Amino acid sequence: MMPMRFLSFDFSSFDACVLRMLALARASLGPWLGAFAALLSLPAMAQMPQPPEIAARQYLLIDLASNQVLAEREADVQTDPASLTKLMTAYLVFNALRDNKLTLEQKLPVSKRAWEERIGGGSLMFIDTTMQPTVNELLRGLVVQSGNDAAVALAEAVGGSLDNFVTMMNRQATVWGLKNTQFKNVTGLTEPGHYSSARDVAAVAARIINEHPAQYALYSIRQYSFNNIKQDNRNMLLGRDPNIDGMKTGYTEAAGYCLVASAARDTPAGSRRLLSVVLGTNSRQARAAESQKLLNWGWAAWDAVRLFEAGKTVSSVPIWKGDKAEARLGAPGTLTVTVPKGEGDKIKTVIERTDPLLAPLTAGQQVGSIKISSAGGTPIATVPLVALEPVGLAGIFGRAWDAIRLWVK
């Protein structure tokens, strides 16, 4: 019988090996373990509302009360804007009325060029060269009936020529920083080099709403008759939803069916307006339905919260070398933010300001910023922190005393 042999093992070497393996594991996994531990220590992040599925190539939803984008898809993609082009056409005409370059009662001639728009097969007001419609009539033809002939007649009156008016359109787009817009005509008929985007279209629409509220009312008119021809506004949402009071439809084969829709409601935070842009749907019914779906989600999933009133003090802080002991600081105007439903009481605000604060200050002078974030830390908005009233310089002895105090500090 063979004698039993026992394997000998150097446990000191084994311990050293294990220690080396643990050290290597700690070195390689340490950053991951640390990140995991940090993640577990974070406060619970609020789930951002997810928009419904929208059957459109591009879309955008903005809360104009806070100027926040609530949902978007390919909003900066350049695309054929179709008759949404006429938003810029109308904006420049509204400017001309504001600047007294036109009057609503003024009669305008109808050029052969305007009459020839009926050859192109687009939307028409049905004016001809024997007529002299008023600016008021032409605006209804432009806004309600989406008349290409009305667009040309008004553009010629404001710009002197179509080419000059198109130059004005592009100049305005450049001033506003619309990087994905270029106009080649005033009507929106498909043409090489004529394009815009959902975001840029929304910017023009918002300008009309904010700067020309009286003229914006034209977009709520549901029907208009001219030359014994009655035409309905193609915005099918007018009358369906009492909150919707505008704005513009568009269609070409290249663009598909498009709709800009605007809706307003009174809320505890004040009047709230949503603006939707839906591009590239497959029918009139679809553009209306998808726009309604997007707007309904905007009302249901989000709340507007009024944080600061214009002129209300947010913080009073010591000011050095001034003729007052403290400076009243606040936001430059009323501040409203849009947050996921139910998150309004969890908003966080952080004030960052210049320190020390030195006189003199002028009313409205920025001295810092107010940063607003959600409960989970997601940035919502950053607005300037400004002086709400002027603060002059103290006398020579007051300035000298504060200089000494600052030096000691």
> Around Cβ 217, how many Cβ atoms within 10 Å?
12
Instruction: Please report the pLDDT score of residue 34 as a whole number.
Output: 38
66 is catalytic: no
Contact 292, 332 (CB under 8 A): no
Give dist(CA 97, CA 215) in Å, integer: 10
What residue spans define the domains of the chain?
Answer: 58-301, 309-408
Instruction: Please report the pLDDT score of residue 6 as a whole number.
Output: 32
Give dist(CA 99, CA 193) in Å, integer: 31
Give dist(CA 279, CA 58) in Å, integer: 5
Contact 146, 117 (CB under 8 A): no
Q: Which of 8, 13, 66, 83 is catalytic?
A: 83
User: What CATH architecture is 58-301?
Assistant: 3-Layer(aba) Sandwich (3.40)
Residue 284 in tokens: 């009139």
Instruction: Please report the pLDDT score of residue 321 as a whole number.
Output: 72
* Domain 58-301 and domain 309-408 have a common topology: no
**Any idea what DSSP says for residue 68?**
E
Residue 68 in tokens: 């926040």
Instruction: Please report the pLDDT score of residue 375 as a whole number.
Output: 78
Residue 207 in tokens: 């300008």
CATH number of 309-408: 2.60.410.10
Give dist(CA 45, CA 387) in Å, integer: 34
**pTM summary value:** 0.82
Contact 371, 353 (CB under 8 A): no
Angle at alpha carbon of residue 242, lines to 241 and 248, rounded to 5°: 65
Instruction: Please report the pLDDT score of residue 221 as a whole number.
Output: 98
**3-state secondary structure (DSSP) of residue 336:** strand
pLDDT tens for 353-396 read 877 888 788 999 999 999 998 877 888 888 899 999 998 876 66
Q: Which of 66, 86, 123, 293 is catalytic?
A: 86
Instruction: Please report the pLDDT score of residue 18 as a whole number.
Output: 36
Give dist(CA 316, CA 329) in Å, integer: 6
83 is catalytic: yes
Instruction: Please report the pLDDT score of residue 15 as a whole number.
Output: 41
pLDDT tens for 209-262 read 999 999 999 999 999 999 999 999 999 999 899 999 999 999 999 999 999 999
Q: State which residues of the chain have pLDDT below 50.
A: 1-19, 21-46, 402
Instruction: Please report the pLDDT score of residue 3 as a whole number.
Output: 40
- Is the Cα dihedral 181, 185, 186, 189 positive or negative? negative
Instruction: Please report the pLDDT score of residue 288 as a whole number.
Output: 98
CA-wise closest residue to 93 among 195, 216, 197: 216
Q: Which of 8, 66, 107, 146 is catalytic?
A: 146
